[in-house]
Amino acid sequence: MFKVSRKLFLLILCFVTLASCGQEQPSQQPANVTQAYIVAVNNPLHYFAHRLLGDRVDVRLPVPDDIDPAQWQPLVEDLLQLQGAELVLLNGAGYSPWVANVSLASGRVVITAETARDQWIELEGQVTHSHGPEGDHAHGGYAFTTWMDMSLAKIQARAVATAIAARWPQWSGDIAQRLEGLLADIDELDEGYRSFATQAGDRQLIYSHPVYQYFERAYGLAGRSLHWEAGEMPVEQEWQALTENLEPNALFIWEAEPAGEIAARMKALGLQYVVIDPGANRAERDWLEQQRKNLSGRF
Amino acid sequence: MGDLFYLGSRYISHHRAKLLVLIFAITLVSWLPVAIQIIVDQTAEQLLDRAESTPLVIGAPGSPLELSLGSLYFRAKTPARLDYSEVKKVEATGYARAIPLYYRFRAQDYPIVGTSPDYFSYRGLQMASGRPVALLGEAVIGSKVAEVMSLGVGDHIISSPESVFDLAGVYPLKMPVVGVLAASFSPDDEAVFVDVKTTWVIQGLGHGHQDLNRQEAVGQVLKREGDNLVANASVRQFNEITSDNLESFHFHGDNASFPISAIIPNAPDEKSAALLLGQFQEEREDVQIVRSRRVIAQLLDTVFTVRDYIVVGIAVVAIATAIVALLVFYLSLRLRSGERFTLARIGASRLQVQILMATEVVFVLLLSAALAALLITLTRQYGISLMQQLLLA
């Protein structure tokens, strides 16, 4: 009787084991189910979306850390990731020119600066072309660092909020509340940059890169733009060109903290500098913190 | 029994022409009404399935039937044109995501369907090999296209020019096949899918060419007007989009005004679909929104009516055939009275004579029934595709 029971017990054990093996698949299923996610093409948009959604939806920035998102060219794998996204947050103003030649569903694409198209700054000196019977011509391009004008940043934040609230209407109340906080923070940045502009007064401004067009226009900080890399010592001719028309009160605005030798050379020239990082790239700090850090600079 | 079989077979062999005509006539009148019923039912089922999975279709004003058949089966020869801006307008309602379709062009016998990645998830299409379309100029082909044209991932498919005499018109575009769809037993098996922008390149609205700023292109520049270079007609356009020349491809003009054939609104629920339908019917006269199922059902009503007439006609023919067959059998028995007499005189029993006489009738009926059954089976297997081609051609 005991032997029979033991056999029976072993049989039941085998059955339960097999049954549990069979049940393992469904339990693994959720891991295979694609989770809803959003893709943003630069750090400000990534920050806006994350700030508005919290951790409820995965917000991805597929651009490698060492690549400027404006120069990023997605690989096929990146594009397949973009196709699977609930929303693809684009900047607009020609920020991601590759969009014209890839396959994305228009309903998932949000051009966040689209409603401010009339405020886009068209670049000068860009060669366009025309040919064929239609004679139409292509645009030469726009300046694209739109979010450095905080009024445009607010428009972009609202566009992100509208898109995600339309996609997840069940969270629209919370999104609206979070948007208020975000806009308040951007207003604070706006105030900060206005104060910065006041301090800068009528000093001569030199920008390390031509990415500050919206910043210059919004805060009345027109200046001369160079093509200097913060980590790369400019050649002597470039230093000479810089010093030729240098005024004593000139202020140099860098995208990133310049290398020690560059900083030393500037100090020797008596040229003051500050770092105003647009924060396009993913970094240690989020976009808002980066902007606050920009404003904490003293000159 | 063997002797009866022998005599029966000799009789059949001797009168084979007459019996073959009888078998043919009986087979035909038995098979035809059943075949028509099967084909029409199967066609109706398939048409309605496709229409039910695509409840709404938006297109330019015109024939609702042409719009429905075009967007469901990509069969329209010259689809009416709709502006791409309508896609944004549908999406702006907030009731549905819009899937554009542009099915004007062909690659040999197969339609090239310009659409967005959402189409594949909407139809539940799976990849048998390769990957979905990701870049301009890439193509994903249906399973039947792959089979018939012997194409696979890594091969190329070329769009067909619309007219050989239109030298300035649509250029053939060589497109790499990046994926093959798993068979879905639907019109998607017989289509070539590309991004909608690729169809605009086929149409000549977008193109790629060498950089006119480069030194070697100086001979192609007609004049320089400020920052605008005006090129002459010798600018060579690329007829294949590769990773090397992809960035040179561009569109002249605003893509909002570029053409598409139809839009499939993908509404999340019936309420949204109803609201979208109401809004478009109420506010838009420049576009039409149709309920595919209703349109296809109307088409099928016509088909059913025609079928009923045909079946009635065949039934009349069947009755006439049966009467003729009875007459033939009756006359045949009359003609065989001498044969019956001879058989009785050489010792055949009454039963044996009756069996022998019945052989002719049984043989004809059994063979006709077997042939009709075979034809019905074949109809069930292959009749539907034949009928669909006739219906949709």
Kindly report, residue by residue over B226-255, the tens digit of the pLDDT: 666 566 656 666 778 888 888 888 887 888
pLDDT at B393 over 70: no
Query: Which single residue is written with the structure tokens 């025309």?
Result: A130
Instruction: Work out the pLDDT band at B385, boundaries 50, 70, 90.
Output: confident
**CB-nearest partner of A103 from B98, B195, B233:** B195
**CB-nearest partner of A79 from B91, B134, B168:** B134
Name the residue of chain B whose CA is nearest to A136's CA: B252
Strand order in the sheet with B228-231: A128-130, B228-231, B221-225
Contact A103 B136 (CB under 8 A): yes
CA–centroid distance for B270 within its chain:
28
Structure confidence at residue B219 (pLDDT): 63
Torsion of CA B240, B243, B245, B251, to 10 degrees: 80
Structure confidence at residue A21 (pLDDT): 36
Measure the CA–CA gap between B53 and B43, rounded to whole angstroms.
15
Determine the CATH number of domain A37-118+140-189: 3.40.50.1980
- The answer to whether residue B118 neighbours chain A at the CB level (below 8 Å) is yes
**CB-nearest partner of A134 from B131, B134, B252:** B252
Structure confidence at residue B98 (pLDDT): 96
Lowest mean pLDDT among B26-35, B130-139, B181-190, B274-283: B26-35
CA distance A4 to chain B (A): 51
Name the residue of chain A whose CA is nearest to B121's CA: A84
The DSSP call for residue B61 is S
CA distance A52 to chain B (A): 20
Q: Which residues of B touch A76 (CB under 8 A)?
A: 131, 134-135
Mean pLDDT of B204-224: 68
Structure confidence at residue A196 (pLDDT): 94
Structure confidence at residue B360 (pLDDT): 84
Q: Percent helix, strand and coil across chain B, each rounded to 5? A: 55, 20, 25
pLDDT at B187 over 80: yes
User: Which candidate, B147, B228, B241, places its Cα nearest to that of B202?
Assistant: B241
Mean pLDDT of B170-195: 93
Name the 3-class secondary structure at A49. helix
**CB-nearest partner of A129 from B118, B138, B231:** B231
Most confident of A112-116, A243-247, B357-361, B381-385: A112-116
Structure confidence at residue A30 (pLDDT): 33
Structure confidence at residue A211 (pLDDT): 94
β-bridge partners, B101: B262
Tokens read off for B141? 């082909």
Name the residue of chain A whose CA is nearest to B233's CA: A132
Topology of the domain comprising A193-296: Rossmann fold (3.40.50)
Handedness of CA B276, A176, A86, A116 (dihedral sign): positive
Q: By the 8 A CB rule, do A61 and A46 touch? A: yes
Identify residues of A whose CB sits under 8 angstroms from chain B CBs.
Answer: 76, 79-80, 83, 98, 100-108, 125-134, 136-138, 140, 166
pLDDT at B207 over 90: no
- The answer to whether residue B61 neighbours chain A at the CB level (below 8 Å) is no
Q: Chunked in runs of 10, what are the mean pLDDT values of chain A (299 residues)?
A: 43 38 34 72 97 95 92 95 96 94 94 96 70 49 95 98 95 97 98 95 93 96 94 93 90 95 94 95 90 84
**CB-nearest partner of B131 from A80, A108, A133:** A80
Measure the CA–CA gap between A286 and A264, rounded to whole angstroms.
29
Name the 3-class secondary structure at A224. strand
User: Which candidate, B266, B249, B274, B5, places its Cα nearest to that of B122?
Assistant: B266
Instruction: Work out the pLDDT band at B348, boundaries 50, 70, 90.
Output: confident
Structure confidence at residue B11 (pLDDT): 86
Mean pLDDT of B292-313: 87
Q: Which residues of A touch B213 (CB under 8 A)?
A: 127
Contacts 24+ apart (CB under 8 A), A221-226: A221/A197, A223/A253
Contact A128 B94 (CB under 8 A): no
CA–centroid distance for B169 within its chain:
28
Amino acid at A15: F
A207 exposed, middle or buried (CB, 10 Å; 0-12, 13-18, 19+)?
A: buried
User: Which candidate, A141, A138, A290, places its Cα nearest to that of A213?
Assistant: A141
Q: Give the largest CA-CA distance in chain B.
A: 118
Contact A79 B250 (CB under 8 A): no
Mean residue pLDDT of chain B comes to 87
Name the residue of chain A whose CA is nearest to B256's CA: A106
Q: What residue spans in chain A does CATH classification 3.40.50.1980 cover?
A: 37-118+140-189, 193-296
CA distance B82 to chain A (A): 16
CA distance B231 to chain A (A): 5
Indicate the pTM of the whole model.
Answer: 0.78
First CA to last CA distance, chain A? 93
The DSSP call for residue A9 is H
Tokens read off for B293? 């199922």
Structure confidence at residue B56 (pLDDT): 95
- The answer to whether residue B317 neighbours chain A at the CB level (below 8 Å) is no
- The answer to whether residue B89 neighbours chain A at the CB level (below 8 Å) is no
Structure confidence at residue A131 (pLDDT): 56
Mean pLDDT of B98-121: 95
